[in-house]
Chain A
Amino acid sequence: MNARSPLASAAQSAVLLLFFGMIVFPIAWMVLTAFKLPRDVHSLSLNFSPTVQNFGIVFEAPWNIGLRIVNSVVVAFFTLAIAIPAAILSAYSFSRFEFAFKRGLFFLMLATQFIPAVVIILPFYLMFRDLGLLDSRTGLVIVNLAIVTPFAVWMLKGYFDAVPIECDEAALIDGASRMAIIWRVIVPMALPGVIVASVFCFILTWNEFIFALILTRDKAVTLQVGLVSFRTERGDLWELMAAAGVFITVPAFIAAVAIQKHFEAGLTGGAVK
Chain B
Amino acid sequence: MHDRLTRYLLLVPALVIVLGTTLWPLVSAVTTSFRNWRLKRSPVPQGWVGFDNYVFGFEEPEFWNALKVTFVFVTLDVLIAVAVSLGLALLLRRAGVLQSLTRAVLILPFAMSPALIGVSFRFMFNGEYGVLAKGIGWLIPPLADVIWLASPGYAMAALILSDVWHWFPYLTLIFLGGLAAVPVETEEAALIDGATPWQTVLLVVLPQIKGVIAVALILKTIFALKMFDSVQTLTGAGPGITTQTLAHYVYTIGFVHYDMGHASALAVVLTALLVGIGMFYTRLVMPPKAVAR
Contact = CB atoms under 8 A, between A and B. Distances in A.
Interface stretch (B48-56, B74-82, B267-275): B267-275
A248 B173 contact: no
Contacts of A26: 109, 117, 120-121, 124, 165
A41 B286 CA distance: 49
Nearest to A33: B123
Given A112-B22, A146-B21, A252 B131 contact: no
A122 B229 contact: no
A29 B131 contact: yes
A16 B102 contact: yes
B242 interface: no
Contact of B120 (A30, A86, A228): A30
A170 interface: no
Contact of B228 (A109, A145, A210, A271): A210
A207 B226 CA distance: 15
15 contacts: A27-B109, A42-B129, A44-B129, A90-B13, A106-B291, A107-B292, A116-B226, A119-B250, A121-B25, A178-B6, A178-B10, A248-B116, A268-B174, A271-B215, A272-B211
A66 B21 CA distance: 29
B95 interface: no
B229 A209 contact: yes
B134 A44 contact: yes
B105 interface: yes
- Please indicate which of the listed interface residues A96, A207, A265 has the most CB atoms of chain B within 10 Å of its own CB: A207
B232 A245 contact: no
B223 to A, nearest CB: 9
Contacts of A89: 10-11, 13-14
Interface of B: 3, 6-8, 10-15, 17-18, 21-26, 28-29, 32, 88, 91-92, 98-99, 101-102, 104-117, 119-124, 128-129, 131, 134, 165, 169, 173-174, 176-178, 187, 191, 197, 211-212, 215, 219, 222, 225-226, 228-229, 232-233, 247, 250-251, 254-255, 260, 263-264, 267-268, 270-271, 274-275, 278-279, 286, 288, 290-293
A263 interface: yes
Interface string A114-137: 111111111111100000000000
A221 interface: no
A94 B11 CA distance: 8
A29 B173 CA distance: 24
Contacts of A142: 21
Contact of A83 (B17, B131, B215): B17
Given A20-B102, A120-B21, A150-B22, 11 more contacts: A1-B191, A19-B91, A26-B117, A26-B120, A93-B6, A106-B292, A119-B25, A119-B267, A123-B29, A264-B173, A268-B174
Contact of B11 (A105, A119, A245, A271): A105
A123 B28 contact: yes
A220 interface: no
B237 to A, nearest CB: 13
Contacts of A105: 11, 15
Contact of A245 (B101, B111, B116, B222): B116
Interface string A42-85: 11100000000000000000000000000000000000001101
